[in-house]
Amino acid sequence: MTGVILYSAGLVLPITAPPIAEGAVAVRNGRILHVGERAWVRRSLADRGIAPTEVHWPGVLTPGLVNAHSHLQYTGMAEVGRGRYHGFEDWAGAFDPVYERGRDWAADAADGAAQLIRSGTTAVADVVTDVEAAAALHDARLHGITYWEVMSWTNADWARTGRRQVEDALDALPAPPGTGLSPHAPYSLEIEPLLEIPDIVRERGGRIHIHLGEAAFESEFAHEQAHAWHKAGLTSFQELRDAGFGTSATEFVDQLGVLGPDCHIAHGVYMSARDRAILRERHTSVALCPRSNAVIGLEEPPIAAYLREGNPIAVGTDSLSSSPSLDLLADVAELARIARSQGYTDRDLHARLLNAATLGGAHAMGIDVGPDRTGYLAVGALADLAFFDVPSGPDAVVELVEAGAGRAAATVIAGELRHATPAFDASLPANGDTA
Ligand SMILES: [Zn+2]
């Protein structure tokens, strides 16, 4: 039998159970065997004849962070991300020439995966545009979903060659992790591909992910003028706008059957109350990426409204082509600041944001349930753990949320220690094998 490792910490935050001072997580064969107060976990393991190797960390232990939106392929495009832009089209004008020069996408994506692990991240929604970058999660043994990005197909080209190409690309994605398709956005594809992509994914039991509410023009129409546009013979969201039909981008993709519990959206910035209600009705999570929104020059996402109205939320960094780092906790801190500036002052703010950055991300990708569940600390879940150099006192959750970036002391993925600072290394038993 493989040995049991007991990770104890000054404060354990299971997410699906209350915080545990002087807590511990027992790990065996890559999965969580036990969670609770350290003394009680040790005693019950002893009762079962198990003598664990203990690793004690005085700070905070959480589930591994879940980054619900990124493009690891663009990790080498930080020159674009260091700029400041006046909206999505302005940013795209800076992105396109650098992208078209081409890079070693495989190496850049691998670098991005390594950065995620160093920041305490164990699962990610990674959108892949070029096949060279498709193995990043698989090779780094990260959990999550690899999404093949689909964009720029007209109805005619889609019918001729597009559908077949996309099916082949999806079927060729390395697994594990899970796989899916990301129709880029409602305005970058005509109607036929937007209609058929969800069916291609759903036939295979995969996942869907789409950028939605990222460009200001997606919300320009007044909802009162809604017409039965889908019977008007139009071919794209662009034609719909030009014809003056009153529909938002969210209503548009909803009419096409894109949304659902197997789909999550990125950004969700330009969302009316009706749009947010549609997301709730479809059980579609939104991955908020506030630092990317700021670089691109968008408005701030309506985080206070999402929290008050009960939308399922997650957090993403987006890529280094629009964000300063892949450290998810920096986006979590930004969400806390924005929520307060929007008037959300409830005391549950920090706990809810930490939930969004772990279980919320897992739920967005559908990996919070099933045999390989993750995103929280409970018996039988994958042993995906993050340790932070944050004091375990009464304000630990506030400090982790507002100032946790750059403080990941160790990362464990499926029971394997994948990152450790010198301070964490010093806490390892001299003769212990924690791999
Ligand atoms: Zn994106």
CATH 3.40.50.2000 for domain 4-63+375-425, yes or no, is no
Residues in the chain: 435
For residue 129, the CA-to-ligand 1 centroid distance in Å is 11
What CATH number matches the domain at 65-365, 3.20.20.140, 3.40.1180.10, 3.60.140.10, 3.10.20.30? 3.20.20.140
| Proportion of the chain above pLDDT 90, given as a percent | 86
Q: CATH 3.20.20.140 region(s) of the chain?
A: 65-365
For residue 245, the CA-to-ligand 1 centroid distance in Å is 27
Given a cut of 50, is residue 224 above it in pLDDT?
Answer: no
Of the listed ranges 70-84, 233-247, 336-350, the least confidently predicted one is 233-247
Say what the pLDDT of residue 435 is: 46
Say what the pLDDT of residue 239 is: 75
For residue 273, the CA-to-ligand 1 centroid distance in Å is 23
| pTM, to two decimals | 0.95
Say what the pLDDT of residue 229 is: 52
Q: What is the pLDDT of residues 22-74, one digit of tens each?
A: 999 999 999 999 999 999 999 999 999 999 999 999 999 999 999 999 999 99
Given a cut of 70, is residue 227 above it in pLDDT?
Answer: no
Quote the Cα angle for 180-186-188, to 5°: 90
For residue 322, the CA-to-ligand 1 centroid distance in Å is 9
Q: Tell me the C-alpha to C-alpha distance, in Å, between residue 90 and each of 84, 87, 93, 218, 278.
A: 9, 5, 5, 16, 29
Q: How far is the C-alpha of 277 from the C-alpha of 299, rounded, in Å? A: 20
Q: What is the pLDDT of residues 404-421, one digit of tens each?
A: 999 999 999 999 999 999
Q: What is the mean pLDDT of residues 252-277?
A: 95
Return the residue matching tokens 């060279």: 132
For residue 92, the CA-to-ligand 1 centroid distance in Å is 12
| Beta carbons of 316 and 70 less than 8 angstroms apart | yes
Q: What is the pLDDT of residues 72-91, one digit of tens each?
A: 999 999 999 999 999 999 99
For residue 265, the CA-to-ligand 1 centroid distance in Å is 10
Q: How far is the C-alpha of 321 from the C-alpha of 71, rounded, in Å? A: 9
Q: How confident is the model at residue 145 (pLDDT cuts 50, 70, 90)?
A: very high
For residue 187, the CA-to-ligand 1 centroid distance in Å is 14
Say what the pLDDT of residue 241 is: 67
For residue 69, the CA-to-ligand 1 centroid distance in Å is 6
| Beta carbons of 355 and 311 less than 8 angstroms apart | no
Q: Please name which of 217, 97, 96, 336 lies closest in space to residue 328, comparing C-alpha atoms.
A: 336
Say what the pLDDT of residue 291 is: 98
For residue 331, the CA-to-ligand 1 centroid distance in Å is 14
For residue 346, the CA-to-ligand 1 centroid distance in Å is 30
Q: What is the mean pLDDT of residues 141-170?
A: 96
Of the listed ranges 134-138, 237-241, 409-413, the least confidently predicted one is 237-241
Given a cut of 80, is residue 323 above it in pLDDT?
Answer: yes
Say what the pLDDT of residue 245 is: 66
Bridge partner residues of 158 (DSSP): none
Q: CATH 2.30.40.10 region(s) of the chain?
A: 4-63+375-425
Report the mean per-residue pLDDT for the chain: 93
For residue 289, the CA-to-ligand 1 centroid distance in Å is 9
Q: What is the mean pLDDT of residues 95-100?
A: 97
What is the secondary structure of 372-413 as a DSSP string? T--SS--TTSB--EEEE----STTHHHHHHHH-TT-EEEEEE
Of the listed ranges 170-174, 190-194, 213-217, 353-357, the least confidently predicted one is 213-217
Helix (H) or strand (E) holding 288: strand 285-288
Q: What is the mean pLDDT of residues 175-196?
A: 92
In the β-sheet with 263-267, what is the strand arrangement from edge to edge?
Answer: 65-70, 121-128, 143-150, 178-183, 207-212, 263-267, 285-288, 313-315
